[in-house]
Structure 1
Amino acid sequence: MKILKVRNGIVIIIVILFIASSVFSIGSANLIKNDIIYNKNIDFLSFQVNPIFTKETYMVEMRDGIHLATDVYLPDNISSPHGAILVRTPYNKNGSGMGGWANKGWPSIVQDTRGRFQSEGIDTIFRDAHTDGPDTLEWISSQNWSNGKVATIGGSATGIVQYLMAGAGPDQLKCQYIGAATPNLYTTVYPGGQFRKNMLEAWLQNQGSTYVLPELWAHENYSLEYWTNVSLEDNWQDVNVPAVHLGGWYDCFCQGLIDGFMGYQYDGGTGAAGKSKLIVGPWTHAFFGERLQGELLYPENAKDTFSAEYWDEILEQYILGESNDFENRPNVVYYVMGDVTNSEALGNFWRYTDNWPPEYIEDEWYFHENKILSLDSPGSYSPLTYSYNPTNPVPTKGGTNLYPLAPTWAGPYDQRSVENRADVLLFTSDVLTEPYEATGPIKARLYVSSDCPDTDFTVKLTDVYPDGRSMLITDGILRMRNRNGCDHWEFMEPGQVYEVEVDLWSTSYVWNTGHKIRVAVSSSNYPRFLANPNTKDAMNQNTESNIAENTLYLDSSHPSCIILPRYNDNYAPIKPTISGPTRGVPGINYSFIFKTIDPEGEDVYLYIDWGDGTNTNWLGPYSSGEEVTLEHTWSSTKIYTIKAKAKDINQDECEFSSHNINIPRTRLFNKLVLTRLFEQFPNIFTIIRYLLGL
């Protein structure tokens, strides 16, 4: 044991001395790349990057005389005017991390929004963003270190202010990176006309801004006078900036972000149209880019490992003026969700395309009297009636919520505990004999009546797994007084049948073979939404409530249904599997087996990148599912990443898969290491002899 301890001590000493020699040899070298200096002067003990910037705080004056606290992180080595990066935040500019970009050579600015922390004024919850943002851009461009080009970045609230800033069309704004945000606050506060209770009240409470609530309730009906400053809905043509729009299917701003992309891409000004990118993953707001969402663990490929590349490229192209692949990237990248328990099931892959939404066919899945959901037309069915009591609403369990905790949770959750109620109508399909994909906007067409002047109707769409779990995909709500528009009220007449449409936002989902499609219809989803009191009172002004007898009609004259956008385009092959060795030596041929499956059974082609600068170009065609054996030799010692992708006869490509092989260092290297060690520390042999007692 003593000998073992001594040997361990020797190993530790050797390792420490070798690391020290390596660190000292690096010294304080700087790596210069594309005129951006990356500091390599590392404190070995604390691993803190030594700053190479100067931070100054300014009180920047807005057009109305209010001053906003603004921190400027200016690189010490800046020698000529440079493009800048701006973040505007209601969450405190201190500790923003902007120094990281300054260390890379970028003048970086972070500002407390109006009424927040060190800034003057009153927090009006984004209503001044359309003027404060452009005023800040103008101030930045007037500084002697600025070349007049500014990029903005941020998510959630820091993304919302970007949208509203862009609507003013400032010349200095050259590109944006917008995550988990919305360009329309009205539809965020009042989706389907109903107040989004938990998200708004909890967020305003955390902000210390609950004084805004009465104002929001007083403006429940959309009007340009109040809402125009916080919506781009009517002025997309004023947006003249390319942007990356990054969202999640379970994010609380999902549809808003998609609408933002479509507004920029298809209706924007010349500086925006055709120049934006959309990325949507299977993510919630709180766990963006991660695998675990709600109660489901998605495959490893669900992680966000690539969106940062878009930020780097949009900066290079529109701020530095350097050409790259940004414009050549697909305009739309989205994750097609599916069965997380079956790795062979169709779904859980990224799709790359140039337009949203993709081509689809609207399938009408009808509600039948026997609680069946079917593509068959309904017969002469009797209507279904249930009692909705606003004092006992259906509890929220997951969905597109802001907070991932009780009482709402966020993401895909099993709905069985809230489905087994008398005030919830369930319609479930037969077991699917083949996969079914819905990608695009989801909506429900309902024929309904009530004995009250106003009420709500809610719709949920779920995937029923073979084990019985009913996993939430998306949902929606409609406040009946706003069925014909959110700018006015139309109350219901008792017993009259109304045809209405409920918006369930957009998604991309594959129900696997053996699963079932389910729709749940009810009148509440609390506290995600305010429980409708079934009265004529204004928002949150009721002093009493009524129990409503709500009726859903199912007959051939009133064919209530959910309308699913069945994907109607070609499927790319599944990304290839790669089987083969993970270690090797230089100069030896190694065999690898590649296999891919095309969902339509079409022939496939393979493209292999061997990781050493060589590739195979496209090989094939091969049969779907065929195992293809290829050989390769590496000449140098290194860890190589083999990448493989496939395409079908329609030229639709899948994403790359990867496999690492380590061509290890030889024993000669170990001898060289020891030689170097003894050269730099000539007394080390004496120390070793002493420790061994020789």
Structure 2
Amino acid sequence: MTGNGTRLALAGILAAAALSAAAQIHLVSDTVRREALAQESVIERALMVPMRDGVRLATRVYLPKDADGPLPAILWRSPYNFSEKMEPTPGYSDANLKFALDAVRHGYAFVMQNERGKFFSEGDWEILGRPRTDGHDSLTWIAEQAWSNGKVGTIGCSSTAEWIMGLGSEPHPAHAAAVPMGMGAGIGRMGSYYEQGNFYRGGVIQLPMMAWLYNEQNLLRPQFPAEMSEEERLRAERYYDLAPTIPGPDWRSAASHLPVAEMITANGGPPGVFDEMVRRGPNHPDWYQGGLYHDDEDFTVPALWVNSWFDLSVAPNLALYNHVRENASSAEVRDAQYMIVAPTEHCHMYRLRQPHVVGERSMGVVDFGLDEIVYEFFDHYMKGENNSFARGEQPKVRYFAMGSNTWRSAGTWPPENATTRTLFLSSSGNANGLAGDGRLASTAPEAAAADRFRYDPRNPVPSLGGNVCCLGDTLVPGSFDQRPIEARQDVLVYTSEPLQKDLEVSGAVEVVLYVSSDASDTDFTAKLVDVEPDGTAWNLDETIQRARYREGYDKPVFLSDGEVVELRIGPMATSNVFRAGHRIRLEVSSSSFPRFARNLNTGGENAMETQPVTAVNAVHQGPEFPSRIVLTAVPADGP
């Protein structure tokens, strides 16, 4: 390590000492973790675990050195690199090393495994790595090891968690507990959400998925002979990491390419599964044949779900939690579901900064003892310990209320005493931009009006922050002042009067619009905003809906010129305390780019088209067309 690097590491250690034990792990460097693992564990490397079809998966096991007797184990599966050659340098190791060190120090074996088709694992890669077969076989292998006590937990965030739902859909005697974090891309259909693994929102392609597949769908890779010895394989892993280096494009420019179906290959990426997926609709039968978890499936394991308010799919994640609590076939499993929702970006619930600033909005000191909660959960369900979970002291739901920057607890989501509050859109037909007269009011307007705007796909409304991930510097997640967006004439802005007292909105946020267009198909977006007295406008959540899917994702219905139709957008989800003096705002438009692919307004097969047309879109209000936003409100005294 360089002298500067040594000083930085020392500064990190000194800073960590000033924080609680729960916060320390966030400031520990990968080098420190790696050295600690080498000192505190026995590491079994370059193992090849056989699956039922003969394919073998590259696996590593960490065993606590001071272990006394068989151990419970925690399984962490990944499509990402954890090879020996990678270990001396930073990489994706901050997560896997943290989880491994936590597990070893709490008396668990920790098992790392690459999905099939990735790095030293054999076979061809599939998204989510065959959770129902490969995951099942991996549990069986772990339970049969001499060091195992037969109980296995699962943990991960993002791609290392998205397979856990598919695994948990079927019972396995060894699967004792699960901690999925930021797992939205593993959810297919969940109630009103047909996101199919974060690929869609409201029937519109989400471009972060395209950026992820640009790097992940490559299937060309060198492979070593199956008959290599463990010693030879370990040596090869130290020489080669098999990680392809694919030069990434500027994503804002790359996302502008038409047709969308060629977006990856036209920008130098490899052909692959995106080329086929982009041609499906949001309810295509093929979405139900892979590893995604859907709302017609059981869930069979106690789980601690950890989500983030500024993640790509927080609303479906919350719907999944309710689905399991309400529909798991086992009453014991239904009662063993817990959820935490943190005010962080994707997978930053264990990468907290103090104070934690998400975008430009400070959430204050938000550390909530995640590590202690996770291992209290595992210790109860895997070791039988009589701790806070056993005694019923842990809340079913722990969520962070932004605005007040406080943690709240509840027995359900939304909180048990939540009610709804409806605000109606109103204007004189001039809600365009901040200078317009769009209002949110508690009663529907008596007079009819329509706010019209031109949506030109060649000049889409730019995304600014939001509940996103995976587009690098092109689109940074979090809360930003939205006034630059609201200055546009193709953004309708509806704002309430200043609130007389605090209002906590915790739960679903539904938007119902009465819309028309001169195009046969177009999109409508909705964004919920908290406006401070000085005008700063913090985004909370946003969503989109393609008009052709307003009657269902299995039966497109197109618009007639000038026809007014009801369009239900969302629901979004948040927890935010709108302080007294603040105002509630709803933005409506037809694009948010590059988060969402643009609708070209032709009514054709959008992903295959190259020639956009401009649409004149309208939002209608009045007695006949009560466009509105429905908030889930919690009384001032809390849950």
Query: TM-score, normalized by length of structure 2?
Result: 0.77
Partner Cα distance (1:103, 1:275) in 2? 25
Residue in structure 1 matched with residue 210 of structure 2 by the alignment: 201
Give SS of 2:419's match: strand
Whether the 8 Å contact between 2:309 and 2:574 is mirrored in structure 1 is yes
Select 1:191's aligned residue among 201, 219, 224: 201
Select 1:293's aligned residue among 353, 358, 367: 358
Task: Kindly state the Cα deviation for residue 473 of structure 1 after the two structures are TM-superposed.
Answer: 1.0
1:268 aligns with 2:335: no
Task: Kindly state the Cα deviation for residue 90 of structure 1 after the two structures are TM-superposed.
Answer: 1.1
Matches within 5 A, 1:402-551: 402-403=469-470, 405-551=472-618
1:554 aligns with 2:611: no
Matches within 5 A, 1:261-660: 261-270=321-330, 271-285=332-346, 287-288=348-349, 289-290=352-353, 291-300=356-365, 302-303=366-367, 305-327=368-390, 328=392, 329-338=394-403, 347-358=404-415, 359-369=417-427, 370-403=437-470, 405-568=472-635, 571=637
Partner Cα distance (2:109, 2:509) in 1? 44
Question: 1:388-441, CA deviations, whole angstroms, 9 ceiling, x for partnerless residues?
Answer: 001110000011011475322211111111111111111111122222221110
Whether the 8 Å contact between 2:425 and 2:626 is mirrored in structure 1 is yes
Residue in structure 1 matched with residue 173 of structure 2 by the alignment: 171
Task: Kindly state the Cα deviation for residue 537 of structure 1 after the two structures are TM-superposed.
Answer: 2.4
Give SS of 1:449's match: strand
Matches within 5 A, 1:121-132: 121-126=123-128, 128-132=130-134
1:253 aligns with 2:313: yes
1:143 aligns with 2:145: yes
Partner Cα distance (1:228, 1:107) in 2? 33
Name the count of aligned residue pairs. Answer: 516
Residue in structure 1 matched with residue 157 of structure 2 by the alignment: 155
Partner Cα distance (2:514, 2:502) in 1? 29
> For residue 327 of structure 2, what is the amino acid of its counterpart?
D
Question: 1:62-121, CA deviations, whole angstroms, 9 ceiling, x for partnerless residues?
Answer: 223322111122345545332111100111233532366346542221100121111122
Partner Cα distance (1:499, 1:47) in 2? 59
Partner Cα distance (1:255, 1:127) in 2? 24
1:91 aligns with 2:66: no
Partner Cα distance (2:401, 2:310) in 1? 13
Whether the 8 Å contact between 1:242 and 1:264 is mirrored in structure 2 is no
Give SS of 1:50's match: helix
> For residue 353 of structure 1, what is the amino acid of its counterpart?
A
Give SS of 2:372's match: helix
Matches within 5 A, 1:5-16: none
Whether the 8 Å contact between 1:190 and 1:220 is mirrored in structure 2 is no
Shifted more, 60-69 versus 542-551: the winner is 60-69
Question: 1:340-372, CA deviations, whole angstroms, 9 ceiling, x for partnerless residues?
Answer: xxxxxxx22111111111232222211111411
Residue in structure 1 matched with residue 293 of structure 2 by the alignment: 232
Question: 1:450-479, CA deviations, whole angstroms, 9 ceiling, x for partnerless residues?
Answer: 111110000111111111111101111001
Residue in structure 1 matched with residue 241 of structure 2 by the alignment: none
Partner Cα distance (1:566, 1:315) in 2? 33
> For residue 147 of structure 1, what is the amino acid of its counterpart?
N
Whether the 8 Å contact between 2:449 and 2:620 is mirrored in structure 1 is yes
- Tell me how large the CA RMSD over aligned residues is: 2.1
1:58 aligns with 2:75: no
Question: 1:197-223, CA deviations, whole angstroms, 9 ceiling, x for partnerless residues?
Answer: 1x1122122335452211211222313
Whether the 8 Å contact between 2:129 and 2:163 is mirrored in structure 1 is no
Task: Kindly state the Cα deviation for residue 251 of structure 1 after the two structures are TM-superposed.
Answer: 1.3
Query: TM-score, normalized by length of structure 1?
Result: 0.71
Give SS of 1:513's match: coil
Partner Cα distance (1:79, 1:431) in 2? 63
Shifted more, 413-422 versus 370-379: the winner is 370-379
Residue in structure 1 matched with residue 57 of structure 2 by the alignment: 68
Task: Kindly state the Cα deviation for residue 544 of structure 1 after the two structures are TM-superposed.
Answer: 1.2
Question: 1:305-364, CA deviations, whole angstroms, 9 ceiling, x for partnerless residues?
Answer: 3222221112211211222111411101111111xxxxxxxx221111111112322222
> For residue 593 of structure 2, what is the amino acid of its counterpart?
Y
Task: Kindly state the Cα deviation for residue 295 of structure 1 after the two structures are TM-superposed.
Answer: 0.5
> Closer, same or farther in 2 for the Cα pair 1:127/1:545, shift >3 Å?
farther
Partner Cα distance (2:113, 2:38) in 1? 23
1:220 aligns with 2:299: no
Partner Cα distance (1:440, 1:446) in 2? 20
Query: Which of these two proteins has the greater Rg computed from alpha carbons?
Result: 1
Give SS of 1:406's match: helix
Give SS of 2:333's match: coil
Partner Cα distance (1:47, 1:143) in 2? 24
Structure 2 spans left out of the alignment, 5+ residues: 1-31, 88-95, 189-193, 219-269, 428-436
> Closer, same or farther in 2 for the Cα pair 1:102/1:453, shift >3 Å?
same
Residue in structure 1 matched with residue 8 of structure 2 by the alignment: none
Partner Cα distance (1:502, 1:489) in 2? 16
Question: 1:105-138, CA deviations, whole angstroms, 9 ceiling, x for partnerless residues?
Answer: 4222110012111112222211622321111111
Select 1:180's aligned residue among 172, 175, 182: 182
Partner Cα distance (1:99, 1:362) in 2? 45
Whether the 8 Å contact between 1:112 and 1:119 is mirrored in structure 2 is yes
> For residue 187 of structure 2, what is the amino acid of its counterpart?
N
Whether the 8 Å contact between 1:154 and 1:179 is mirrored in structure 2 is yes
Partner Cα distance (2:380, 2:504) in 1? 36
Shifted more, 414-423 versus 525-534: the winner is 414-423
Shifted more, 385-394 versus 404-413: the winner is 404-413
Partner Cα distance (1:212, 1:553) in 2? 40
Give the number of the structure with larger relative contact order, counting CA–CA contacts within 8 Å between residues 6 or more apart: 2
Residue in structure 2 matched with residue 241 of structure 1 by the alignment: 301
Task: Kindly state the Cα deviation for residue 54 of structure 1 after the two structures are TM-superposed.
Answer: 3.5
> Closer, same or farther in 2 for the Cα pair 1:47/1:155, shift >3 Å?
closer
Partner Cα distance (2:102, 2:498) in 1? 53
> For residue 420 of structure 1, what is the amino acid of its counterpart?
A
Give SS of 1:272's match: helix
Whether the 8 Å contact between 2:506 and 2:633 is mirrored in structure 1 is yes
> Closer, same or farther in 2 for the Cα pair 1:518/1:139, shift >3 Å?
same
Give SS of 1:138's match: helix
